[in-house]
């Protein structure tokens, strides 16, 4: 670990919905500037883990400690279709207590959305919405960024844009947890991969950007389950 103090510390976290345990005793740390991929089949607990880390869900057991502000990009945009891109970001900036119009412009520019800033997001493509969702998540300059399937529905160009943004954030010291099924595309961004099986973290290993090795381990740990 490059830093002594983790940006995310997950300690013995379990979460159930009704009688079904969706997370079972998950523990992991993420260092500042480190990206960890979370991979696993559907229902393995990846999304629930991200929601618990974000604070949207409370764990039934265990605890989560964060080293700073958290931002989250999920399956849904978490924004309002009837508002424009600029209005959506202005609204979330207000809730963060920010009054920085320049920052909204800078984020829209960075995500390649400046030209559609005043259009309602209900008309946006999936790729544009995903980039806007990242802009929303980056609004409070988070130290921890949680991404749930950030490349789903994106074409190659949009995927490259998003991966480029994630690489930059990593260099800037932002800790990231990325739940994905697209591990080949994202493995170059991540330092470690967490393999989740039936709510448990089956393994958390260095990946060194080697897609072949990760895919092999995925088959061994997840697909073979």
Which of 14, 54, 180, 189 is the binder for another protein (CB under 8 A)?
54
How far apart are alpha carbons 178 and 47 in whole angstroms?
10
Which of 2, 4, 42, 95 is the binder for another protein (CB under 8 A)?
95
Helix residue spans in the chain (DSSP H) = 46-54, 85-95, 101-110, 126-138, 156-171, 183-186, 211-218
Question: Are residues 107 and 139 in contact, defined by beta-carbon separation less than 8 angstroms?
Answer: yes
Sign of the torsion formed by the C-alpha atoms of 128, 130, 133 and 137: negative
Q: State yes or no: residue 196 binds another protein (CB under 8 A).
A: no
Which of 12, 63, 65, 81 is the binder for another protein (CB under 8 A)?
81
User: In the bound complex, what is the minimum distance in angstroms from residue 219's beta carbon to another protein?
Assistant: 33
Based on CB atoms, which residue is closest to another protein, 6 or 140? 140
Q: State yes or no: residue 130 binds another protein (CB under 8 A).
A: no
Q: State yes or no: residue 57 binds another protein (CB under 8 A).
A: yes
Q: Which residues pair with 203 in a beta bridge?
A: 195
2 DSSP 8-state letter: -
Q: State yes or no: residue 56 binds another protein (CB under 8 A).
A: yes
**Interaction site with another protein (CB under 8 A):** 54-58, 70-72, 74, 76-83, 87, 91-92, 94-97, 120, 136, 140
């Amino acid at each position: 670990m490059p830093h002594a103090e983790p940006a995310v510390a997950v300690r013995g976290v379990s979460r159930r919905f009704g009688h079904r345990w969706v997370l079972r005793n998950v523990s992991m740390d993420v260092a500042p500037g480190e990206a960890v991929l979370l991979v696993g089949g559907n229902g393995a607990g990846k999304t629930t883990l991200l929601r618990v880390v974000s604070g949207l869900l409370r764990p039934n057991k265990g605890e989560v400690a964060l080293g700073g502000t958290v931002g989250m990009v999920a399956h849904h945009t978490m924004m309002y279709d009837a508002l424009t891109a600029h209005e959506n970001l202005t609204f979330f900036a207000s809730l963060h207590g920010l009054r920085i119009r320049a920052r909204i412009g800078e984020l829209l520019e960075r995500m390649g959305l400046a030209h559609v800033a005043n259009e309602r997001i209900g008309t946006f493509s999936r790729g544009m919405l995903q980039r806007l969702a990242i802009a929303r998540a980056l609004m409070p300059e988070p130290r921890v960024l949680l991404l749930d399937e950030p490349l789903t529905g994106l074409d190659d160009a949009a995927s490259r844009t998003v991966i480029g943004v994630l690489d930059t954030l990593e260099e800037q010291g932002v800790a990231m947890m990325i739940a994905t099924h697209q591990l080949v595309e994202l493995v170059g961004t991540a330092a470690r991969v967490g393999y989740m099986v039936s709510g448990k973290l089956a393994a958390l290993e260095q990946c060194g950007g080697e897609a072949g090795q990760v895919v092999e381990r995925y088959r061994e740990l997840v697909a073979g389950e």
